[in-house]
Structure 1
Amino acid sequence: MEGAHKLNAKLGDNGDTQFSLDEKQEVVDSFRGTRMWWKLSKASDDYSLYGRKIQRRNYMLVFHKRHRQLVQDSYLPEILQQGRALTAKNRQRRLYTHHENHMSTWTHVPWKHPATFDTLAMDPGKKDELIEDLKMFQKGKEYHSKVGKAWKRGYLLYGPSGTGKSSTISAMANFLKYDVYDLDLTTVTNNTDLRNLFLQTTEQSIIVIEDIHAMELEDKRMSTDFQWYYERKKITLSGLLNFIDGLWSACGGERIIVLTTNHVDKLDPGLIRRGRMDKHIEMSYCRFEAFKVLANNYLDITEHPLFTKIQRLLDETDMTPADVAHNLMPQGKRKRNTNKCLTGLIQKLKKAKLESGTRLSRGRVLPTGHQGII
């Protein structure tokens, strides 16, 4: 916009200020030592779209005729590429969901989840490994085409409730700048509807199926005269497998599928094999490195005299990051006090350690020659 004497400004959807050229204003651009001039022509007549008035804005590009080939072959393609990149960067991302009464279609809301990898309480090694894997995926269009695979990747996040599976998905979406599709299989009638929902998803998106262990997926191998009718009314395991990596999954590209579960042992091995779920990530209990991230998030501290005691207790006790974060937050109307929050966490950890030891003593196996469990 440099060189323009008059600019129009408006408030964007994200709360930022957006500038545009005023009528008959022009700006000068330079490309490989060649000067071009952009000018906003008079806007065309308004037209109505779904009852809204929209005005077309036409820009004129002026350059010397001897530079025509440079403009056509290099300059305009680069301008378009930069424009698409800026649009993707600045656009409001969306969270899509599906409801049973919406006839196999998605509805969406603006998505502004604040979780990032910087604020994610996760083992640093696993976090770095996941970030590198996402970077490789994002740059993998040519590679996937070369090896003859659809440009998609599957992640299985498994571990106890409260270990940060949903926050990890949000951090992934913010890192990649992807939309998120939250797929609730209980609202999908049959395999056909499942396939239609997949075809409606866009590229650069994450498709999430949470708590996959709780879904009742019927095996296609059934011995009944009503098998065909029954399968039309249910999502089968084979239907879900085709959704993840069947022929239809290759329609479009740059999609990530994430399954989450609290009970990985309950899942069909074919569902989570490598190639469907390419990367398995165990979401574990909170250890000291993850705790330091939470302490920085909630208390704005990176060190404290009580950290040594907390580190020892975290090594001896299984407490989820969600429970640790809860104990770092002030309760009720109490103002945040670092010492009180950390002292309270220590008391909770000691109590959890004591309860865990009591359960183990009650469940210890008796010596050889005895029967039963105490």
Structure 2
Amino acid sequence: MLKIINNIKKKKIPLDDYINTCLYKYKSSYYEKKKIFGPRGDFITSPYISSIFGEIIAIYITNYFLEKKFYSFSILEIGAGEGVMARDIINTINKFKNINFSYFILEKSENLKKKQKKNLSKLKVNWIKSLDDLKCKNLFIVSNELLDAFPVKHLKKIKNDWYEKYVCYDNKKNKIISEYAKLKNKNQKIFKLVSKNNDFIEFSPSAIEFLNQIKKVLKKNKDNCFLTFDYGYLDNKFKNTLQGLKNHKKVSIFEDPGNVDITYLINFNLIKKIFNNKSNFDNIIMSQSEFLTRAGIIERLRQATNILTSEKDKLKLEMSVDRLIHPKKMGNLFKCLIITNAN
């Protein structure tokens, strides 16, 4: 934490640089050290709620290729956490006969990569360093709560001028604060993607760069697909959704840097525009509830509860699925984005 604060004391830095420092830059940064997932961590993700989440994704991926009469394909998971979803997807697809597949993981955090290699040591998994390391034929790219982990910028229009949020250290108050400074680069690409009636923009330059790389991969083969889940909204207008999470509670992003997750809600309307910009893609956005229901989670729940003998285990499984698909729980808050070639 001291290393992070000392870095800010030297000079004010853009908001996304601050977030990157807190989450990734040092060994003392958030994703590089502690247990962050699950009930004992700071937040819980869908794969931790029930293995059914990964099973349904596995079935969807398999059916996607079987409908095209492909029995051999590759899966790339980007940002695989501790490997929970990867384990569930691999174990499920392994039950299908005459299916040959390879599983790859692209992970930024060295800490999480070590945990993945430990947790997936008995399964066939390959780790890659960049998207360029993959052959791009019959490739299915999948991620869960990935985009919200990219550092964001805040831009604000004051009168007729745009300003950018910076983070600095107030020596008098002895704490981290933020302030807006006049935007240096007025020709940022983001302005070409957003509605002109916005006076506030929350976006991640690194996420846009990443999604443009995904576009290139999808273009290389007409049968490639990108599927991702994240919490977010669909709107032309941006909201200030940046928040810190610690022990499953919302806190200030300036509180205890390096020990707090910093996240935000994805504007899926912006994501659509990124993929549609000078490209021809089919994109489907639906709630997590709709995706899981369409993909057969209710039927899978029936099958699983019929096998279970313990009423306690049945109730636990039913409650887990309810949490994943109920509109007032994760069902509507989380969105599913599916991108395929339109050609």
Query: What TM bracket, shorter-length normalisation?
Result: under 0.3
Give the TM-score taking structure 2 as reference length: 0.25
TM-score by length of 1: 0.23
**Higher strand share goes to which structure?**
2
